A and B are shown apart, each in its own frame.
Chain A
Amino acid sequence: MARSNKPILWLPFAGGGLVAALIMPVLILITGVLVPLGVLHLHYETIAAVAHNPVGKLVLLGALALPAWHAAHRLRMTAHDLGLGGGIFVKAGCYGTAGLLTFTAALALILI
């Protein structure tokens, strides 16, 4: 047996799990409850200003990409738990989606 390279998947899983636990509920509270109720307004200028700032770009990327990798890894393990196999399709589907989301988010942040 040899040491595994699983940390490359587990570290983003664990980091993303913590990030998601800390920020996701409040983000959904804002976009799904406070904005529809009219308590808050997400003006283009305000959000774009955050996305223009280099630190803001990094924070946004981390806040989006890490939970995506967390979800991808957990879903893949759950697929295995449910007897759906750990084959190449499950892996490609889970990690591929997370990779695509990360790439898209990074590209959007660069272009803003």
Chain B
Amino acid sequence: MSETITLEVLRYHPETDSEPHFRSYTVPYKDEWVVLDALNHIKDNLDATLSYRWSCHMAVCGSCGMMINNEPKLSCHAFLRDYRGGVIRVEPLDHFPIERDLVIVMDSFMDKLSGVKPYLIPKEDRPLAEGEYLQSPAELNTFHRYTQCINCVLCYAACPQIGLNEDFVGPAALALAHRYNLDSRDGGRDARAEVVASNEGVWECTFVGACSQVCPKQVDPAAAIQQIKISASVDWLKNLLTPGGYR
């Protein structure tokens, strides 16, 4: 008999279940399989009612995030071989409501993300004829790592402060805000500060650092948030010392 591995998957069907419960599935073990392959095997061969999100299978789309043995991970990035000989416990990402099985409700994150204005806000309007906004490699280097975010929200599942205060803007959105604040072509820092430097912004962070540890793209949101704390504090001091308040 060929080798198998057991997955305990948290199931929740809002039509019939009052609360989530675990269900066990035994799937073939393959060295090159990831947890997502095992879930696809379950869906195709064992239980077609299992719901979960996925798309690219290559850590680019950011839609297959799950708690795998209590750790937020992309299921396409978690190899069965790392769990060989044990049971793999698969749950929806922490700190989000469960829509169905492994599918979470992401509305709160989408609102937070759009709230920080994660797009270029030019310093001044320039006619098209004046040409492109030039940027040197050194200027790109200051924020490049923060452009790598794929909105997989593993960092929200890892962050205890999100669990303790659902209104906290959170790691990915703040890292994205920082990415545009650092961009030499951008002039939107003050507009973003209304959210980023508010009570629900960076100040809810206690620098646990878990967001950066679980990030599959090495974005390092924890670093972004601490840097915003420092620049927001400098702004606050300047505001205190200059009449007329924030520009």
Question: Do any CB atoms of chain A lie under 8 A from CB atoms of chain B in the complex?
Answer: yes
Contact of B201 among A4, A11, A77, A80 (CB under 8 A): A4
User: How far is B197's CA from A10's CA once the two chains are assembled, in angstroms?
Assistant: 12
A2 interface residue (CB < 8 Å to B): yes
B56 to chain A, nearest CB (A): 35
CB <8 Å contact, B232 and A1: no
CB <8 Å contact, A7 and B195: no
Per-residue CB contact flags for chain B residues 94-135 toward chain A (1 = under 8 Å, else 0) read 000000000000000000000000000000000000000000
Main secondary structure of the interface of B (DSSP, over half): helix
**If the complex has contacts A1-B198, A2-B194, are A7 and B236 also in contact, measured as CB distance less than 8 A?**
yes
A43 interface residue (CB < 8 Å to B): no
Chain A contacts with B in 29-82, Cβ cutoff 8 A: 77, 80-81
| A residues less than 8 Å from B193 (CB atoms) | 3
| B residues less than 8 Å from A3 (CB atoms) | 193-194, 197-198, 232, 235-236, 246
Chain B contacts with A in 186-203, Cβ cutoff 8 A: 193-195, 197-201, 203
A4 to chain B, nearest CB (A): 5
Q: How many A residues, CB 8 Å from partner? A: 14
B1 interface residue (CB < 8 Å to A): no
User: How far is B196's CA from A2's CA once the two chains are assembled, in angstroms?
Assistant: 9
B191 to chain A, nearest CB (A): 12
Chain A contacts with B in 1-36, Cβ cutoff 8 A: 1-8, 10-11, 14
User: How far is B164's CA from A1's CA once the two chains are assembled, in angstroms?
Assistant: 20
User: How far is B201's CA from A8's CA once the two chains are assembled, in angstroms?
Assistant: 16
B44 to chain A, nearest CB (A): 43
Per-residue CB contact flags for chain B residues 13-29 toward chain A (1 = under 8 Å, else 0) read 00000000000000000
A98 to chain B, nearest CB (A): 18
**If the complex has contacts A10-B203, A10-B233, are A4 and B198 also in contact, measured as CB distance less than 8 A?**
yes
B10 to chain A, nearest CB (A): 24
| B residues less than 8 Å from A77 (CB atoms) | 206
B81 to chain A, nearest CB (A): 36
User: How far is B203's CA from A32's CA once the two chains are assembled, in angstroms?
Assistant: 36
CB <8 Å contact, B160 and A7: no
Interface on B for A, CB 8 Å cutoff? 160, 164, 193-195, 197-201, 203, 206, 229-230, 232-233, 235-237, 246
Interface on A for B, CB 8 Å cutoff? 1-8, 10-11, 14, 77, 80-81
